[in-house]
Every structure is written in C-alpha cells, then in structure tokens.
Amino acid sequence: MVFSDRFEAGKVLAELLQEYRGNPNTVVIALPRGGVPVGYMIARELKLPLDIFFVKKIPSPYNPEAAIGAVSEDGREYLNQRAVAMLNISRPYIEEQVAQITDNMRKKRALYQKPRIPIQGKRVILVDDGVATGASIYLAAQALRDGGAREIIIAVPVAPPDALPLLREVADRVVIPHIARDFMAVGQYYRDFHQLGDDEVIDLLNSPTME
C-alpha cells in the first residue's frame, strides 16, 4: 500500500476509527510535524478536537538519521539500550542531545501557540505518519497515560511487524492499515512525503475540525 500523501493516509485511518466519531471523551493527538496532517484528517472526518505532543528522536553520533532513543517535551527519555551499548555511546553525549532537543521542542511549542487540551479521563487517538522503531510514539503514549489519559489508541498508516510488540505494550488498541514486511523507511509508502514547514503545521492546527 502506497498513500498519495499524509492527508489520504489520515482518511484511511479515519475509516477504521468511525466508532469514535463525535465522541465527547475522545481527543486526537498528533506528533509534529509529519503526524499533523494525518491527525488533522482523522479529527476532521470524525469531528474530534486535535492537539499535538512533541517527541523527537535522539540521533546516533555516527548517523544522524538513525535513532538511539527519543525524548518527549515533558522530559521523558527512552533509550535503545542495546544500540547504546553496541555503539559505546557516552552518557554526556545523550545528556547534551536531550538538552538541545528539549529546548527546540519548547521553542516549537511557543511558535505553534497551541494550548494543550486536557486529557484527564479521555480517550486519546495518538497519531503519526508512520512508525519505524516505535520509540517516539511509545514514549508519547507513556507520557499521555501518566498525564491522565484513560485509554490510548495508537493509529499510524504504516509500520514494520517488529515494531508491533512495543506499540501493543503501551496502547489499549493499535490501528495500522499497512503492516510492511519489506519496510525500510516510512517515506517509501508515500508518493508525497515532503518535510512539512512550520507554516503548514500552524495552518492545520488553526483549521477547525469539529464544524
């Protein structure tokens, strides 16, 4: 399965989540930036509020595209201990990266000017444009659960099979229309997978989803 873009992927997911349409106790939360168009379409199709939660990967010092873990905007940290040990990555490097990433997320939160929607006792549909290792969305689910969410549904368009155990460990339900056994990167499952600019994200966050 190849999606034309993130909006189409969101529509596909919305069809699988119709039971939550208009539910007053359900909130869609997207991981910026790539998850925002997906989350926007789900929220619009299901008439639900849309929010965001920042989680960013901690890059390997040897390959910036490879993640050795992730950090969330509330300071939580997830590390792939096997990768850290195999690559002999020092704790000072990790702490430096976490500090830089946390500062960048704080600046993005201020730029987007998106007040947090209360999630205490709510069902959260947690969305991204795809999963590779699952570390980022796993960390987000943990943070939102501890923040008071009653139920976590992870909804992503595509993921490899080996990410599923991690996702199921932290979510009450996992919705993935395409389990990709030949997975190499999320982008290979989109015809348009451009990097979203901040202006695009801000426009979507300011667009109504419950009209």
List the CATH number of the domain containing 169.
3.40.50.2020
Could you tell me if 129 and 32 lie in one domain?
Answer: yes
> Residue 86 CB: number of other CB atoms within 10 A?
10
Residue 5 and residue 190 in contact, taking contact as beta carbons nearer than 8 Å = yes
211 assigned to some structural domain: no
H or E element at residue 159: strand 158-159
Please give the angle made by the CA atoms of 114, 192 and 140, to the nearest 5 degrees: 40
Tens digits of pLDDT across the chain (211 residues): 899 999 999 999 999 999 999 999 999 999 999 999 999 999 999 999 999 999 998 999 998 878 888 999 988 888 988 889 999 999 999 999 999 999 999 999 999 988 889 999 999 999 999 998 888 999 999 999 999 999 999 999 999 999 999 999 999 999 999 999 999 899 999 999 999 999 999 999 999 898 7
The alpha-helical segments, DSSP class H, found in 64-163 are 81-87, 91-112, 135-146
- Asked if 185 and 197 sit in the same domain, the reply is yes
Looking at the structure, do residues 118 and 107 belong to the same domain, yes or no? no
Is residue 44 domain-resident?
A: yes
What pLDDT does residue 210 have?
80
Is residue 1 a part of any domain in this protein?
no
> Is 210 part of a structural domain of the chain?
no
**Number of structural domains found in the chain:** 2
The residue among 128, 144, 153 whose CA lies nearest residue 19 is 153
Largest CA distance in the chain: 52
Task: Say whether both 19 and 118 belong to one domain.
Answer: yes
Asked if residue 123 and residue 159 are part of one domain, the reply reads yes
Q: Which residues touch 65 (CB under 8 Å, ≥6 apart)?
A: 59
Residue 147 belongs to what domain range?
A: 6-54+114-205
Domain boundary among 78, 94, 111: 111
Q: Are both 44 and 144 inside the same structural domain?
A: yes
Same domain, 74 and 164: no
Instruction: Note the pLDDT of residue 128.
Output: 97
pTM, entire model: 0.92
